Amino acid sequence: MQTTSANHTEPSSPSLDRQSLRPDCGNCFALCCTAFGFSRSADFALDKPAGSPCQNLAADFSCTIHDSLRPRGFRGCTVFDCFGAGQNVSQGFFAGKSWLAYPDIKDEMFSAFKAARRLHEMLWYLADAQARTFDPDSSHRAIQLRNTIEQAVGGELPDLLSLDIQELHSQVRSTLMEVSEEVRASYFATGGDHLDSALKPGADLMGKNLRSRRLCGANLRGAYLIAADLRDSDLSGADLLGADLRDAWLERTDLSKAMYLTQPQLNAARGSRATLLPSDLEVPSHWHDG
């Protein structure tokens, strides 16, 4: 446990627990480029049905336009993250057999990937919750849920495909919310006295000027922060679970202790190398150096 001030202590970072939840595309059969479908939009330059390979996919499962995805209209590809589910399904559940070499396993492999991706994302959040909580009961619940999920993603394929993921998701969400309340209370934020009343779960904050604000402990779960200006603001202890950060301005923003932050959220935003991030998240390649 590390002390951050005379009145505030925090558990250690969950970074070590989450290293295995990073994508390893070299050990995946491009499942994100095949299993999911997308429609032509600002994020994708064309329509692609689910279960079919993207037209930019090479025979070796690499992307032929990987270095120019954004300028060629595939920003959505640069935002996606499988939380390590791709290599787990490819090398674990299917022992290195690809859907291309074994077409008969394609449907089952794609279904497994969709299920595993949701479970891996839950593991990402639970590691954060477990590392932050001071409550032994909350920690125990997070550990139990992590064990259940880890058994599912490390077990047999029929068990994964028959798992009630929706029920598990409900239990995980409940635990995440309990820990959020606890952590935000440590920043004196549960009453919201020092925060704008508009800063609440699911709030429409699109384009809102939140620059140079102390937003420690704010509950921004599921908030629409599209193109919001968060430059130079401090979001320590803020709950960002499911917050939409597309095109949000994050230059010099302190996100180092924000709760439930993910790489896809950062990839969708605008920032710089001066933005403070948790140790296990990376500065997106399109962020500038300023």
Counting residues of the chain whose pLDDT is more than 90, the rounded percentage is 86
How far is CA 22 from each of CA 19, 46, 84, 123, 126, rounded to the nearest angstrom? 6, 27, 5, 11, 15
Is residue 261 over pLDDT 60?
yes
132 and 51 in a common domain: yes
* Final residue in a domain of this structure, among 162, 185, 208: 185
Q: Contact 231/253 with Cβ under 8 angstroms?
A: yes
pLDDT band at 17 (very low <50, low <70, confident <90, very high): confident
At residue 190, the pLDDT reads 52
Length of the chain, in residues: 290
At residue 14, the pLDDT reads 54
Contacts of 9 (CB under 8 A, 6+ apart): 1, 2, 3
243 and 179 in a common domain: no
- 3-state secondary structure at position 131: helix
* Final residue in a domain of this structure, among 185, 200, 217: 185
Q: What pLDDT digit, counting tens, does each position of 86-143 carry? A: 999 999 999 999 999 999 999 999 999 999 999 999 999 999 999 999 999 999 999 9
Domain region containing 112: 19-185
Q: What pLDDT digit, counting tens, does each position of 207-253 carry? A: 999 999 999 999 999 999 999 999 999 999 999 999 999 999 999 99
Q: What pLDDT digit, counting tens, does each position of 136-193 carry? A: 999 999 999 999 999 999 999 999 999 999 999 999 999 999 999 999 999 875 544 4
- 3-state secondary structure at position 156: coil
Q: Contact 284/267 with Cβ under 8 angstroms?
A: yes
pLDDT band at 13 (very low <50, low <70, confident <90, very high): very low
Q: How many domains does the chain have?
A: 2
Count of other CB atoms within 10 angstroms of residue 104? 8
248 and 169 in a common domain: no
